[in-house]
Structure 1
Amino acid sequence: MEILDWIVLSTTLFFIVVYGVIKTKGSATVKDYLLDNNETPWFTVGVSVMATQASAITFLSTPGQAYHDGMGFVQFYFGLPIAMIVIAYTFIPIYHRLKVYTAYEYLEQRFNVQTRTLAAVLFLIQRGLGTGITIYAPSIILSALLGWNLTFLNIFIGVLVIIYTVTGGTKAVNVTQKQQMFVIMSGMFITFFVILAYLPEDVDFSNVLHIAGANGKMDILDFSYNPETRYTVWSGITGGFFLMLSYFGTDQSQVGRYLSGKSIKESQMGLIMNGLLKVPMQFFILLTGVLVFVFFQFNDAPLHFNPTNVEKVLQSDQKKEYEALEAELNQINIDKKVVNQIYIEQLKHNAYDNPTLRKKMIALSLEEKELRNDAKEIISKADNSAETNDKDYVFLYFIMNYLPKGLLGLLLAVIISAAMSSSASGLNSLAATSSIDLYKRNVTVKSEKQYVVATQYFTLFWGIVAIGFACVSSLFENLIQLVNIIGSIFYGTVLGIFLIGFYFHYIKGKAAFYSGLISQAIVILIFLKYILFESNESEKLGYLWLNLIGVLLTIVLSFLFQKIINSKA
C-alpha cells in the first residue's frame, strides 16, 4: 500500500468512529439508547436496514461468488421484496402498537415467558456467531494484504465498532451507517468503472456481457425443481422469502432499525425502500464480480487467489509440482486472450453466435478449473490445515494488484466500513435482547440509567464474544454462504413461532414453545445429515430450504401439540 492509500483508509475510519461518538453521546433512557427516542426518519431507516445486511462479507465474498459461479446467486434475493411488503403491513403495526423494544417482547404477551426466552436465545446464538463472521471477513483482507496477525486485526476492528456502539447505542448505529453506506457505494461504483476502463479499448460493456454469457456467467434464472441445487428461482422465492421474512421481521438486528422510526408510516417507507433497492444493489455487486472474470480473460489470472496459501506451497516440497501447474495455466491464459480477441472481432461484425468459439472458451474454462482443483490438492499436501477455497480472495486479489493509488485505500475503507456497520447493528441488537428479554425480565433495577449502563455492558460483552468467535473462524465454502447458512438453521423456527402468534390464535403458549424446541432440533439434525457432512457437489439439500422446513415444522407441530393439550383438558 502507498502513503495515499493509508491516508484515505485511516481518515475514513477515524471520521466515522469520532463522528459516531460525538453525535450520539449521553443517552439518559433506555428508549433513547435502544430506539433513538423514535426520531429516525424513513430514509435513515432504509439506509440503516440496507447497511445492516450489507456487511463486509457482501463486498468481499459476492464478487468472488460471481467470478466462479456467475450471476445465479441473485436468485437468493428474489423473495426479499415480497417479504418487505408482508413485514411492512403486518409486523410493523403490531410492534409499534405494543411499544416493544425488541421483537421478542411480543412473544411473551402473546404466548408466555418460555417462548419469548426460547426465541431470544436462538437469536443470541445465531447473531453472536454472525457478528463474529462480519468482524472476521475484513480481517482476512488486511491479514493477506499487510501480513499482519489475524487475531490482532480481529481485535482492532472489533474495538473500533465497540467504541461508538457502546457510547451511542442505536442512534450511533443509525448515524454512522449513513456515512458508511455512502463510502461503500461510492467505492463500488468507482471500482466498477475502473475495471471497465482497464479492459482493452475495443471491449465495451456490451462485449463484456457477451463474453460473460459465452462462459455461462450470465445464467441468472434457474427454473429447475431440483432441491439439491442451491440457487433457483423457486428456492429464492420460497426459502429466500422465509429467510428474509425471518431476518427482517424477527431478527433484532433489523427490527431494532425500524422500531426507531418516527411512526409506522416512516418505518414502512424505510423497509419498502430496502425492498426496491436491495436486489438491484446485489445484482450490481455480482456484476462487478463478472467484470473481474472478464478482466482476467485478457489478463493473466493466478492459479490460486489466496496469497498466503501460495507462499506456503512455494516454500514446501510441492513447489515444483505447483510451478508445473502454473506453467500450464500460463499457456491457458495465452489461449484465452487469443480466443477472446477473435470473439471480440466477430462481435464487431454482429456475429454474436459462434458455436466453435464458444466451445473453445468453455473448454479453456474447464481446463482452468481442473488446474485450480489440482492446485488445491497440492496446497492441502503442503499444509493439511489450509483452507483451499479461494472465492473470497478473488476480489481482494484484483484490488491489491490492479487498483490505482488511493483507490486501494478507499476499497479497504469500503470493506471495513461495511464490517463496522453490520457488526454495530449486531452488537446493538444482541445487547438490546440480553438487556430487555433476559436481564430486565429477571432483575429489578431502580432507575432507567441503570438499564442503560447494563445495556452498555452487554454491548461490551457481546463485542468480546464476537471478537472471540472471529479469532477461531475459518472459511466455509465462502463467507456470504456461511453467514446465510447459520441464519437458515435458526430463522425458520423463530419465524414459525412469530407466524403462529400473528395468524393462528387457536395455538397457545405451551404448544408454541414445545413445537419451536422440537422443530429446531430437527432442523439441526437435517443440516448435519444432508448438508454439513456432504461435499458441495453431493449435498442432498440446498440450505435455503431449511427456512421453509423450520417454518412448516413449527406450525404443524404446534397444531398437533395444541390438540393433545386440549384433549387432556
Structure 2
Amino acid sequence: MHWIDWTVLLLFLAYTIWDGTRQGREAHNIEGYLLAGRGMPWWAAGLSVMATQASAITFIGTTGLAYVEDMRFVQVYLAVPFAMVLICMFLVPYFHKVKAFTAYETLEERFGLKTRLTTSGLFLISRGLALGAVIAAPSYVLSLLLGLPLAGTILIIGLIATIYTMFGGVAAVIQTDVKQMAVMMFGLIFCFGLIIFNLPEEVSFGDAVYLAGSLDKLTALDLNFDLSEKYNVWSGVFAALFLMLSYFGTDQTQVQRYLTTPDVKQARKSLLMSAYAKVPMQFFILLLGVMLYVFFIFQPAPISFRATEPIAETEQQILQEQQIAAEYQQAYDLRQEAALALSSDRSPAAQQKFVEADQVMNDARNRDLALQAEIRQADVNDTNYIFPYFILQYVPIGLVGLIVAGIFAAAMSSIDSELNALTTVSIIDWYKRLKGDGKSEEHYLKSSRTVTFMWGMIATFSALVLGETRSIIELINQIGSYFYGSILGVFVLMLWVKKANGTGALAGLLSGMLAVFTFDRIFYNEALMDYTFILPWQGVSAGYDKAIEFLWLNPVGAVTVVLVGYLVSIAIPKDQ
C-alpha cells in the first residue's frame, strides 16, 4: 500500500483504541460495564447487532462466495424477519421483565443450576471456538494485503479489540460498532460504484446484470427440496429459522445488545432494524460480488487471486502450468469478445457463445488451482482473496487505506462483541453465581476486565494456530449449527412446555447435542445409493458427501431437545 493508505489505516486504528477506551470512564459497576447501565438508544444497539453479525466474514467471504458461485447464500437470511418478530413477541419482554444480565441465568429458576451452567458452558465453547476463526480468517488475507507477517496481523486485530473492550466495556463495543458499521458500508457502496463506473462505455449497468444473469450468477432462490443442498428456500426459511431464533434470541453476543436498552419498546426497535435491513444488505453485498465477476470480464483477471509462489515443481508440472495459463488467456479473450457482442446483440446464439467461453475459462482456472494444490499439498482456494485483490489494484490511493480499515473494522466489530459476551457469561453465570454475591462491585468490575483480557488472549492464541478455511462465512455458521438448535430447544421448554423440569431439560440438551453429532456424520454416495456413518477421525471415501447439510442440524437439535425433554420430564417428575 501507499504511505498515504498506511497513514489512513494507522489513524483509524489509533482512533478506535482512543474512542473505545474512553467509553469505560462512566462504568462504576458491572451493570455499567456489561450493560451500559441499560441506557443505550435503540438505533445504536440495532447497528451494533448488525455490525456484530456483518464482520469481516461478510466483507470478504460473502463477496467472494457470490463471485465463485451465485447469490443463493441470501436464502440463509430469509428467516431473519420471522425470527425477529417471534423474539420481539416472546423473549425480549421476558428478558427485560426479569432484568437479566445473560440469557442463561433465566434458566436456573425453572430448571436449576446444572441446566444453566451446561447451557452457558455450551455458549462459551461455541463462541470460544468461533472467535479464533473470526480473528484468523481475515488475518490471512490482510497479511498478504499489507505485506505483514501473519502473526503480526493477528496480534494487531486481537490486541486492539481486546484493549478497548477491556477498558470500555459494552459501551465501547456498541459505540465503536456504530462507527465501524459506517466505515464498512461506505467501503462497500464506494466499491460498488467504482465497479459500475469502470465498466466499458458500451456496457451499461443493465447490460452487466444481463451478462450475470446469462451465467446464472443472479440465481438467488432454489425451490428444490434437498437436505444435502446447502442453500435452498426450504433450508433458508425453515432450517435457518431455528438458527436465527437461537442466534438472535439465545446467543449472548446478540442478547446483550438489546439488554442495554432502557425498555422493551426500544429493545424491539433495535431488533426490527435488523429485520428490515439484514436481507437487503446481504443481497447488496452478494450483488457486489456478482458485479465484481462482471467487472473482471472486461478487466485483467489473474488465474488465481491469491498470489503464491510454488515451493516445488517438476518439469512436467511447469509445462502443464504454462499450457493451462495459455488456455486460460485464450478463453479469457474469447469470453470478453463474446460479452461485448452479447451486450449489443442479446440473441440466444450470442448468449450461448458467451456462456461456453465462460465455462472454458473457468475450467482452465479450476485446473490451475488443482495443480497448485497438488504442488503445495495444501488448499489454494482464493475465494477470500478476490475482493481484497480488487481493492489493492483498482481503488484510488487514500481510499485503499480507508477500505482496508473497513475490513479491520469488520473483524473487530465481531471480536469486541464476542469478547464482551464471553466475559458477561463467565462472570455472571459462573464466577459470581458460584462464588456468591459477597464481593464488592469494584471487585466484579476488575474481574470483568481481567476476564476480558483472558478471553482476548485465548482467542488471539487460537487464531495463531488455526489453519485457513475455504469460506469464512460458512465456517462460522457450521460451528454455530452444532450448538444453536440444542440451546434453542432448552428455551422452548422453558417458555412453552409447562411439564418440563430440570432433569428433562438437561437430558434433552445432551440428547440434542448427540443427535446433531450423529446426523452430521451421515454420508451418502449417490452412485451407490449408500448411506454410511463416518466418525471425524475416519477418512471419507471418494464419492461420499454429507447427507444432511449444516443448516438442518439446527431443527434436528431443537426438536430432539424438546421431545426428549418432555418425555423425560413426564417419566421423572420434578419431586423425584
> TM-score, normalising length from structure 1?
0.95
Amino acid in the other structure paired with 1:230? K
Tell me whether 1:50 sits opposite 2:50 in the alignment: yes
Deviation at 1:297, TM superposition (A): 1.2
Deviation at 1:327, TM superposition (A): 1.2
Deviation at 1:3, TM superposition (A): 1.5
SS at match of 1:438: helix
Once the two structures are superposed, what CA deviation does each residue of 1:106-148 show, in whole Å capped at 9, x if it has no partner?
1111211111111111111111122212211321122112332
Return closer, same or farther for 1:537/1:363 CA change in 2, 3 Å cut-off: farther
Amino acid in the other structure paired with 1:324? Q
1:320 maps to 319
Once the two structures are superposed, what CA deviation does each residue of 1:511-555 show, in whole Å capped at 9, x if it has no partner?
000110121022123223449758898322221101111111111
1:508 maps to 501
Q: How does 1:117-516 map to 2 (within 5 A)?
A: 117-308=117-308, 311-312=309-310, 318-346=317-345, 351=346, 354-384=347-377, 386-444=378-436, 445-516=438-509
Amino acid in the other structure paired with 2:337? V
**How many pairs were matched up?**
560
- Of 314-323 and 242-251, deviating more is 314-323
2:528 maps to none
2:532 maps to none
C-alpha contact (below 8 Å) 2:521/2:546 kept by paired residues: no
Return closer, same or farther for 1:486/1:113 CA change in 2, 3 Å cut-off: same
Deviation at 1:67, TM superposition (A): 0.5
Deviation at 1:324, TM superposition (A): 2.1
- Of 513-522 and 140-149, deviating more is 140-149
- Of 79-88 and 514-523, deviating more is 514-523
Task: Return the alpha-carbon distance in structure 1 between the equivalents of residues 109 and 176 of structure 2.
Answer: 33
Amino acid in the other structure paired with 1:187? G
C-alpha contact (below 8 Å) 1:123/1:251 kept by paired residues: yes
C-alpha contact (below 8 Å) 2:228/2:547 kept by paired residues: yes
- What is the aligned-residue RMSD (CA, Å)? 1.8
Task: Return the alpha-carbon distance in structure 2 between the equivalents of residues 179 and 534 of structure 1.
Answer: 48
Deviation at 1:180, TM superposition (A): 0.5
| Identity of matched residues, % | 38
Task: Return the alpha-carbon distance in structure 2 between the equivalents of residues 32 and 536 of structure 1.
Answer: 55
Amino acid in the other structure paired with 1:402? Y
> Which residue, 556, 563, 571 being the options, matches 1:556?
563
Once the two structures are superposed, what CA deviation does each residue of 1:20-46 show, in whole Å capped at 9, x if it has no partner?
112332521111011100100111111
Task: Return the alpha-carbon distance in structure 2 between the equivalents of residues 438 and 524 of structure 1.
Answer: 26
> Which residue, 509, 528, 545 being the options, matches 1:538?
545
Task: Return the alpha-carbon distance in structure 2 between the equivalents of residues 203 and 337 of structure 1.
Answer: 12
Return closer, same or farther for 1:25/1:528 CA change in 2, 3 Å cut-off: farther
Task: Return the alpha-carbon distance in structure 2 between the equivalents of residues 405 and 534 of structure 1.
Answer: 49
SS at match of 1:312: coil
C-alpha contact (below 8 Å) 1:300/1:330 kept by paired residues: no
Deviation at 1:315, TM superposition (A): 6.9
Return closer, same or farther for 1:449/1:536 CA change in 2, 3 Å cut-off: farther
Deviation at 1:205, TM superposition (A): 1.3
Task: Return the alpha-carbon distance in structure 2 between the equivalents of residues 344 and 447 of structure 1.
Answer: 71
Task: Return the alpha-carbon distance in structure 2 between the equivalents of residues 53 and 298 of structure 1.
Answer: 33
Amino acid in the other structure paired with 2:387? F
Task: Return the alpha-carbon distance in structure 2 between the equivalents of residues 557 and 362 of structure 1.
Answer: 52
Amino acid in the other structure paired with 2:382? D
- Of 246-255 and 466-475, deviating more is 466-475
Amino acid in the other structure paired with 1:312? P
Task: Return the alpha-carbon distance in structure 1 between the equivalents of residues 323 and 3 of structure 2.
Answer: 37
Deviation at 1:471, TM superposition (A): 1.2
Deviation at 1:273, TM superposition (A): 0.8
Unaligned runs of 5+ in 1: none
Q: How does 1:50-89 map to 2 (within 5 A)?
A: 50-89=50-89
Return closer, same or farther for 1:215/1:523 CA change in 2, 3 Å cut-off: same
Amino acid in the other structure paired with 2:555? L
Unaligned runs of 5+ in 2: 525-535
Task: Return the alpha-carbon distance in structure 1 between the equivalents of residues 353 and 411 of structure 2.
Answer: 41
Task: Return the alpha-carbon distance in structure 1 between the equivalents of residues 330 and 477 of structure 2.
Answer: 38
SS at match of 1:328: helix
Amino acid in the other structure paired with 1:519? G
